[in-house]
Amino acid sequence: MSAPNLHRRNVLNLLLGGSVLVAMPACATAPDRSPRPGMRPAAVQAGSANLGFALVDMRTGALLEGQGETIPLPPASVAKALTALYALDSLGAGYQFRTRLVATGPVTDGVLRGDLVLAGGGDPTLEIDHLAAMAADLARAGVRQVTGRFLVWGGALPFTAEIASDQAVQAGYNPSVSGINLNFNRVHFEWRNSGGAYSVAMDARSARHQPAVSMAQMQIVNRASPPYTYRRAGARDEWTVARGALGNSGSRWLPVRHPELYAGDVLRVLAQGQGIALPPPQIATTSPSGRDLVTHLSVPLQEVLRDLLRFSTNISAEAVGMTATTARAGRPASLRESALQMSDWARARYGLTSPALVDHSGLGAVSRISMRDMAMMFRLAGEDGALRALLREHPFRDRNNTIVAQPGVDVRAKTGTLFYVSALGGYLRGPGGRELAFAICQADLDRRARVAGGQADRPEGTAAWARASRQMKQDMLLRWARDYS
């Protein structure tokens, strides 16, 4: 792996917040159920209305075991597996996102006589260091001053204020989505307590750069709750935080709601470091026309998708999904319209009957798909191996969270977690070498409804519920590996 890739994965690790399920499609003509299912653990027998699973033979497509398998359930982040397949089919594995610096006029004696436009192409992996390199390339192109405006264009994708409306306002994994997305549209908030007085800073950062931003502002207030409030005011993200929620010192990533101005703020600071004077950024309302001075290309889509499935980054799924829809049918009017088009594609491509998705990440808990559809999607997508190659190995753990080897058992899967929703789907190979596809979702939608939209980062009871659900799914996988080898 090259050094740039290592850095990018480090940034992904630093910025990751929250996880999501991946939805799987189904086969048009599903085969008959196996007449001799194995014994089910007691945990599976309880609450069957909120539990669905399907186990399918990869070679024949036979449904070996299932329960509630036709009931549509929230896929959570497992939906990202479907998004990856949609993107590969629509864009191709070698597709690269483009971010450009466009001049609308000539450059003479270091002066750009016109506007400079930072034009996004939907890249969900754009980082501070990429913008720093673009600023350096702009200086090498001879630009020192701009007589016109400094514009930022994010219209390649429809602006989405937030991915899901029922998340805590401070959830960094639920940012805005645009045609330009910097640092996963997250801003770094840091606070320090010195003698009872707090100092705060809002910046974008990487291992090498830490440019301050002016479009995001934080105010500390004396209140018990909620921990954070947010207001989208004009050209600023205005935050408040409860003093009691801070402790002594610390930091966290907060979602960005003005992605164009955020990227513009950062590039302006980085350009100043290169001796280039830029006016304050403004949002461009039309696609820029002019000469490309600098172009940044993302890594190929295959690598974007591998990181997307490994780190479960929601904004990456949404940007990739909407870009795929744009390539197939033109720019969608909204995120939901794009998700509906992906649902229609899944029905046509894999013969699914249940997908009704509202986004590409699975963060929206009103998305639905059956576990039979998910398992069949994995089975059919597994024929060419493209999806399996993107999925990471799913280890088994004991109750102390220590990885425990299971000789002869291999699981390649995507996990998904929302409050009171836990899902898993992918591929299972037991000691006998038999190849299986599976999908499991457990959901307590009544309890979820009671905590959804609250402002707690982790509502009481959700962590213990998720641990128990993960253990149940692990027990099922081990039994399946034994019984169907």
Write out pLDDT tens, residues 136-190: 999 999 999 999 999 999 999 999 999 999 999 999 999 999 999 999 999 999 9
Q: What is the pTM of this model?
A: 0.89
Is CATH 3.30.70 the classification given to domain 3-93+329-483?
Answer: no
CATH topology of domain 97-298: D-tyrosyl-trna(Tyr) Deacylase; Chain: A; (3.50.80)
Write out pLDDT tens, residues 435-463: 999 999 999 999 999 998 888 889 999 99
Spans of all domains in the chain: 3-93+329-483, 97-298
Q: 309-330 as b/e, with b when 16 or more CB fall inside 10 Å? A: bbbbbbbbbbbbbbbbbbebee
- Mean pLDDT value across the chain: 90
| Rounded alpha-carbon distances, angstroms, from residue 475 to 379, 401, 467, 472 | 21, 14, 12, 5
Distance CA 454, CA 27 (A): 38
Q: Does the pLDDT value for residue 431 go beyond 90?
A: yes
Residue corresponding to tokens 């960005």: 256
**Residues in the chain, total:** 485
Distance CA 96, CA 94 (A): 6
